[in-house]
Amino acid sequence: MLDYDHLSALSAILRTGSFEKAARQLGLTPSAISQRIKALEERVGAVLVVRGQPCRPTLAGQRLFRHAEEVALLEAGLGRDLGEFAGMAKTPSLRLAVNADSLATWFVPAMAAVDAFLYDLVLDDQDHSAEWLRRGEVRAAVTGSSQAVQGCDCLYLGRLRYFATASPDFMARWFPDGVTAERLAVAPTMTFNTKDTLQSRWLALAFAMDISPPTHWLPSSHGFVDATLAGVGWGMNPEILVSNEITGSRLLMLLPDRPLDIPLYWHWSRSAGPALKVLTEAVLATARRLLVQDHP
């Protein structure tokens, strides 16, 4: 049997990144946290934490961390089922992988609909977020892949629609005679990070050509909109974020008949499925309300 006070110490260290912060979170001294980790390491016969800035788990530590999280989710679900016992169960932390544009457009209302968890979000591109599930570092993820990760279930959510947009001044300066492949090759665009392929995917869709324009690097969904409004460059912005700006002509679509729809899927760990049922229902309901629902 494992001591769950010891597992709580491990989880706090890996969530906060240090023994000191974990001690403050749990109302203990750093020495007490160290003693709990030492006892747990002796119990399982393996080093669990690599000390550093931040502290990192070993493979054994990561496995125990996942176990502790799943137990906390199961206990919370049991609390909900047993009524009066619910007040005794601690609110569990739930780690999810979400792409930045989903977080900025539709995912927060799904979170707000479920107060059964303390959310611990990691941000990654929708084409890479499934890797967090494969590594066992999250319990669920919004991804762009329809292929279920081993040990997980998957449901289609809908499509997040993007438009290539720019400010009126930017359009007048860079596309005085219309949007052409030649002008797009020199007009500055914006890129979220090295994993962001939205601009190149739209260019290939719209012109069936390999166009590589100069780019700004701007890792913020709302910053993308602000920079587009300011005329810094053109970029792929979610329709949900910029519909008012387009309606008010503060932003113009480069090619109004060429949206880019990105399909999104909800993947969740099968072992935690019952505990995540209420969140899965909220995610599906919110997606059906806010995402484009033409099926791929």
Under 8 Å between Cβ of 124 and 147: no
Q: What is this structure's pTM?
A: 0.83
The Cα–Cα gap between 14 and 50 comes to 10
- Annotate 153-183 with DSSP letters as a single string: EEEEEEEEEEEEEE-HHHHHHH-TT---HHH
For residue 155, list its beta bridge partners: 266
Q: 54-74 pLDDT, tens per residue?
A: 999 998 998 898 888 888 887
Q: 4-43 pLDDT, tens per residue?
A: 889 889 988 988 899 999 999 899 999 999 999 999 999 9
The Cα–Cα gap between 53 and 50 comes to 10
Q: 248-279 pLDDT, tens per residue?
A: 999 999 999 999 999 999 999 988 888 899 99
Q: Angle at Cα 140 formed by Cα 139 and Cα 146, nearest 5°?
A: 135
For residue 237, list its beta bridge partners: 163
Q: 112-165 pLDDT, tens per residue?
A: 999 888 999 999 999 999 999 888 888 999 999 999 889 999 999 999 999 999
The Cα–Cα gap between 151 and 149 comes to 6
The Cα–Cα gap between 254 and 235 comes to 10
